[in-house]
Amino acid sequence: MFYVLSACQETHCLASMNDGLWYSEHNHEEVDIDLLLEIDIIKCLIFDEEDNEFYILSNKKKGLIGFFLTTFHEDNPYDHTDLTMIKNRLDIDSVNLFILRGQDPITKSYYKELVISYKTIYINTYNVVVQDITGPVDKRSTLYIHESF
């Protein structure tokens, strides 16, 4: 079970493996996010205080099994973006999401990355995926993928 509160503490996201709920105290609106995003088998949920975005990782989307990462702003889950959709037909578990922030020592530019780690069931691999989440959502990309036994 996951429970994440936004920085303003007026928006809540609650998720279990099979159900997800977004609630806004500001306008008393409730949205069933698993139905809205067409996801199931929710594995992890995190909130980015800098951009006020929720990130949700699920193992099933539209009936397909894989690795699905979706983001939406804390105020509007209807305006969501699918960042990664890998339809590999593999179950995952032991999922962790972490936001890494820093400054490049050479270029002095700031960066923000989403580090995702998970175990693939049955083939017993551990995976680490690093995604750039700096800037606009449509310009984000996967920077690094590692898979090992």
Parse the chain into domains and list their residue ranges: 2-148
Whether the pLDDT of residue 141 is over 90: the answer is no
Whether the pLDDT of residue 30 is over 90: the answer is yes
Residue matched to tokens 């593999």 = 90
- Binned at pLDDT 50, 70 and 90, residue 45 comes out as very high
DSSP conformation class of 43: E
Residue matched to tokens 């079970």 = 1
Question: Which pLDDT value is given to residue 135?
Answer: 83
Collapsed DSSP state (helix, strand, coil) of residue 37: helix
CA distances from 12 to 23, 76, 101 (A): 5, 12, 24
pLDDT tens column, 83-92: 988 888 899 9
DSSP conformation class of 138: G
Radius of gyration from C-alpha coordinates of the chain: 15
pLDDT tens column, 97-124: 999 999 989 999 999 999 999 999 988 8
Give the Cβ contact number of residue 27 at 10 Å. 7
Cα–Cα distance between 31 and 33 in angstroms, integer? 6
Average pLDDT over residues 34-42: 95
Q: Considering the chain, what is the average pLDDT of its residues?
A: 93
